[in-house]
Chain A
């Protein structure tokens, strides 16, 4: 047997974690995107629910009409379960005993029939309230019922004295089965839903503006400014810009919320200019999410750009000044071309991270108002994991994520083409 080199064993933990935490989730997301999984289907499947939808479907089906009627009918049944509930109620003991002796096994199809039967008892219930208690204890209906196993459903049918042939039973189980199934409907929905387009445009705007104004733009400007500053000053400014990055995101956003509140700092300052106190975050949701994300994102670009600029041989800048280039020309003709690769790196890295991260938006505007600042990743999150209307659609959320992954890949390829990556990778000669 060929021996596996030791190095591979050292790589094993890393490989395992990469597969577990990076590759597997992507594959699973892709798989889930082709399912109809949602909170009402569960992930494990095989629930049988007599929901409104299911009953409507049964009505339209070829199911025997009598059986259908029986299914939707209410029934009042005296079985061990109902007797147990009655025995624990406050109904008189005499009445209870008589019910236990005479009624077990009987089934009534209306409340009226039930009440008549009760009235015939020697120790009939004394009040309408007692009758109601018995009614509630004995009522049985499939409407709204939920079964986990087919066998449970059979038992229920027996109790309700519904006789069903195998064929009809299969039909019923098929219609009431709410478990998830394989489908491409999610993808069709992504492309046909008018919301998608709106959110797509939101995302484009958000990524472009945050990236251009802050993550690259602002980062570049600070890096350039500090490049021409003395060492102490530049260190101070750079550390200042790092604060948002190292503060916990919840605290950071809370701080912004306070700042932009009615009674916050911005309202306070603007008060001096005669502006009425305003909820700035609600008033300018777009400015909010771009600034909040930008302040955090700019620090990374700044650090990368600064160190890339430090790495430019000083003699190149000397040569440029000797050749007559002033600061602006040096920046344009020497510094920027020299740090092209870091810029590409930051642009593509930040594009991807802006596309996929949404925590600051979630914490500040949560996509609002009126889903105005809803971006794709947040949309996926809302769809699959957290929303107000209750049904969490895991499958559709996964589809949204897959679309995001595809967009990310397209963006990366575009960047590589744009920056002529091939040229950057040209082989240098031996000496250098």
Chain B
């Protein structure tokens, strides 16, 4: 079932939470909705499943406008951010609830509940009540309750936030497997970009009630549309550095280098303010010498080591290098950047035809 949002807006009284959002999700696709807290992710999900009326715009399932279709008839499965399990019912009854509402046969319900609860490993908890379950267990119950009636659309609001690392890995692939097997169209809200990248076909990044960019994880990483996306995706995060265009050069107070053809050919003017984004893996001693400063902070991560370098004008650039710590705190260094893999943004933060080419850094 294809989901289409057309110029969808949502206000709460005077507060404009979502403004003219357009979003298209193909049938059978899983899209991760990624964005900072309060940007409107839950609001978007609630509009799709019909809990909130939308202020303007259209929501379509397939080619049917469902603005006025009641929630009950949209056949959407939702995993709520706070699970929303029914506290007065046992786990069994919680999972069976949607089936009971549909007046399904008892034996059939029994069979389905057993099957689904085994799938996520909660079949031993069926007789308990939600408040006697751990957060992770509750989350799995919520997931199963959303899936058991085979909805056309599955909306998940941070379904894995409360799980431990191992269980989270397992559930990621489990959810993805179920989604692909059933061909269900799904939206996954998450704060975890690794989760977003590994589980979904495409990622939609939201900020301030707007979709900033929607594309595949790889593209999102290498060709972010603006500084927000560039900053949001990537861990450790990208570092930004301010400067201006002079001749064909990007010139900052502590750094200067020549810009690429692609960027230059797009009508940027002399003395225009620019901001470059450098991903940490493209800052390395082997790349040259324009990054000159002292090491401000070192974060050993085992396989890699992260260095924060303070340039002479006070701006900070981050570098990640394979291997254990090689330099000392406060040490003055002179490293370089891979010029082919530098992102350039204009003063509004929009990307100026720059992207990462992914040439493996000379390490």
A334: chain B residues within 8 A (beta carbon):
86
What distance in Å separates the Cβ of A331 from its nearest Cβ neighbour in chain B? 13
A325 to B99, CA, bound (A): 10
A318 to B157, CA, bound (A): 14
Tell whether, in the assembled complex, residue B86 and residue A318 are in contact, meaning their CB atoms are under 8 Å apart. no
Residues of B within 8 A of A431 (CB): 134-135
A313 engages B84 (CB within 8 Å): yes
Indicate if the CB atoms of A316 and B51 lie closer than 8 Å: no
Contact, CB under 8 Å: A322 / B76:
yes
Given A429-B131, A431-B135, A318 contacting B72 (CB threshold 8 A): no
Kindly state whether residue A428 has any CB partner on chain B within 8 Å.
yes
Interface centre among A319, A320, A431, by most B CB within 10 Å? Answer: A319
User: Is the beta-carbon distance between A324 and B72 smaller than 8 angstroms?
Assistant: yes
Q: Which residues from A are CB-within-8-Å of B85?
A: 319
- In the complex, what distance in Å separates the CA atom of A280 from the CA atom of B271? 94
Which B-chain residue is minimally distant from A316 (CB atoms)?
B84
Separation of A270 and B256 alpha carbons in the complex (Å): 97
User: How far is the CB of B284 from the nearest CB of chain A, in Å?
Assistant: 46
Given A313-B84, A323-B101, A329-B101, verify A318-B131 contact (CB < 8 Å): no
Chain B residue with Cβ nearest A312? B87
* Per-position binary interface string of chain A over residues 346-382, scored 1 when its CB falls under 8 Å from any chain B CB and 0 otherwise: 0000000000000000000000000000000000000
- Fill in one digit per residue for B140-166: 1 if any A CB lies within 8 Å of its CB, else 0: 000001100100000000000000000
Residue of A nearest to B102 (CB): A324
- Assuming the contacts A316-B86, A318-B46, asked whether A324 and B131 have C-beta atoms less than 8 A apart, the reply is no
With CB as the reference atom, state the residue of chain B lying closest to A336: B88
Report Cα–Cα, A168/B277, bound state, in Å. 124
Q: In the bound complex, how far is the Cα of B50 from the Cα of A324, in angstroms?
A: 12
Q: Decide if B72 touches A319 in the complex (CB within 8 Å).
A: no
- CB of A102 within 8 A of chain B? no
Is there an interface contact between B132 and A324, defined as CB atoms closer than 8 Å? no
**Does residue B97 face the partner (Cβ distance < 8 Å to A)?**
yes
A234 in contact (CB, < 8 A): no
A117 to B: closest C-beta gap in Å: 97
Interface size counted on chain A using CB atoms at 8 A: 23
State whether A319 touches B132 (Cβ < 8 A): no
Q: What CA separation (Å) do A323 and B76 show in the bound complex? A: 8
| A324-B101 in contact (CB<8A) | yes
Q: Which of A315, A323, A326, A428 contacts B98 (CB 8 A)?
A: A323
B77 touches A322 (CB 8 A): yes
Q: Does A143 contact B (CB under 8 A)?
A: no
Contact residue among B70, B86, B131, B135 (Cβ-Cβ distance under 8 Å from A428):
B131
Asked if B80 and A318 sit within 8 Å, CB to CB, the answer is yes
Is there an interface contact between B80 and A319, defined as CB atoms closer than 8 Å? yes
Q: A318: which B residues are within 8 A, CB to CB? A: 46, 51, 71, 78, 80, 84
Across the interface, do A321 and B88 meet the contact criterion of CB distance under 8 Å? no
A337 at the interface (CB under 8 A from B): yes
CB distance from A45 to the nearest CB of B (A): 59
Counting CB contacts under 8 A, is B49 at the interface?
yes
> What number of A-B contacts does a CB cutoff of 8 Å give?
66
Q: Taking the complex as formed, is B173 at the interface, i.e. its CB lies under 8 A from any CB of chain A?
A: no
Bound complex: CA of A432 vs CA of B134, how far in Å? 10
The complex places the Cα of A329 from the Cα of B71 at a distance, in Å, of 14
- Tell me which of A315, A338, A428, A429 contacts B88 (CB under 8 A): A338
**A395-432 to B contact mask, C-beta < 8 Å, 1/0:** 00000000000000000000000000000001011011
Closest A residue to B133 by beta carbon equals: A429
Contact A429 B145 (CB under 8 A): no
Q: C-beta contact mask, B69-106 vs A, less than 8 Å → 1, else 0?
A: 01110001110101011111100000001100110000
Select one of A326, A337, A338, A432 contacting B72, CB under 8 A: A326
Interface size on B, residues (CB 8 A): 30
Query: Would you call B131 and A432 a contact (CB within 8 A)?
Result: yes
Nearest-CB residue, chain B, relative to A424? B88
**Beta-carbon nearest neighbor of B132 in chain A:** A429
> Are B145 and A315 in touch, CB under 8 angstroms?
no
> How far is the CB of B188 from the nearest CB of chain A, in Å?
16
Q: Chain A's nearest CB lies how many Å from the CB of B154?
A: 11
A234 CB, min distance to chain B CBs, angstroms: 18
Chain A positions within 8 Å of B89 at CB level = 337
Q: For B98, what are the chain A residues with a Cβ–Cβ distance below 8 Å?
A: 323-324
Q: Select from chain A the residue with minimum beta-carbon distance to B75.
A: A324
Say yes or no: B78 contacts A319, CB within 8 Å: yes
Closest residue on chain A to residue B49 by CB atoms: A322
Minimum CB–CB distance from B252 to chain A (whole Å) comes to: 49
Alpha-carbon distance between A270 and B82 when the two chains are bound, in angstroms:
56
Residues of A contacting B71 in the complex (Cβ-Cβ under 8 angstroms): 318, 321-322
* Interchain CB contact under 8 A, A323 and B131: no
- The smallest beta-carbon distance between B141 and chain A, in angstroms, is 12
Which A residues touch B49, using CB under 8 A? 322
Report chain A residues within 8 Å CB of B72.
Answer: 321-322, 324-326
Complex Cα distance, B145 from A78, in Å, reads 106
Residues of chain B with a CB closer than 8 A to A319's CB: 78, 80, 84-86, 145
Bound-state CA distance A431–B78 (Å) is: 23
Instruction: Tell me which residues across on chain B come within 8 A of A320, comparing CB atoms.
Output: 86, 97
Supposing A429-B131, A429-B132 touch, asked if A315 and B101 sit within 8 A by C-beta, the answer is no
CB of A422 to closest CB in B, whole Å: 14
Cβ-closest chain A residue relative to B73: A324
Q: 0/1 per residue, A223-240, Cβ < 8 Å to B? A: 000000000000000000
User: Which chain B positions have C-beta within 8 A of A323?
Assistant: 97-98, 101, 145, 149
Binary interface encoding of chain B residues 34-78 relative to chain A, with 1 for a CB under 8 A from any of its CBs, else 0: 000000000000100111000000000000000000111000111
Bound CA–CA A316/B142 (angstroms):
12
In this complex, what residue of A is CB-closest to B72?
A: A324
What 1/0 mask marks residues of chain B from 102 to 134 whose CB sits below 8 Å from any chain A CB?
100000000000000000000000000101101
Asked if A315 contacts B82 (CB within 8 A), the reply is yes
**Chain A residues with CB below 8 A from B145, complex form:** 319, 323
Chain A residues near B102 (CB-CB < 8 A):
324
Please indicate the chain A residues that have their CB under 8 angstroms from the CB of B87 in the complex.
316, 338
Q: How far is the CA of A179 from the CA of B132 in the complex (A)?
A: 65
- What are 28 pairs between A and B in contact, CB < 8 Å? A316-B84, A316-B87, A318-B46, A318-B51, A318-B71, A318-B78, A318-B84, A319-B80, A319-B84, A319-B86, A321-B50, A321-B70, A321-B71, A322-B51, A322-B72, A323-B145, A323-B149, A324-B72, A324-B98, A325-B97, A325-B101, A326-B72, A329-B101, A334-B86, A337-B88, A426-B129, A431-B134, A432-B131
Known: A324-B102, A337-B88. 14 other contacts (CB 8 A): A315-B84, A316-B84, A316-B87, A318-B51, A318-B80, A319-B84, A319-B145, A322-B72, A323-B145, A333-B86, A333-B101, A340-B88, A431-B135, A432-B131
Closest 10 CB pairs of A and B: A315-B84, A323-B98, A319-B84, A321-B71, A337-B88, A324-B101, A322-B78, A318-B51, A324-B72, A325-B101
Q: Which residues of A contact B (CB under 8 A)?
A: 313, 315-316, 318-326, 329, 333-334, 337-338, 340, 426, 428-429, 431-432
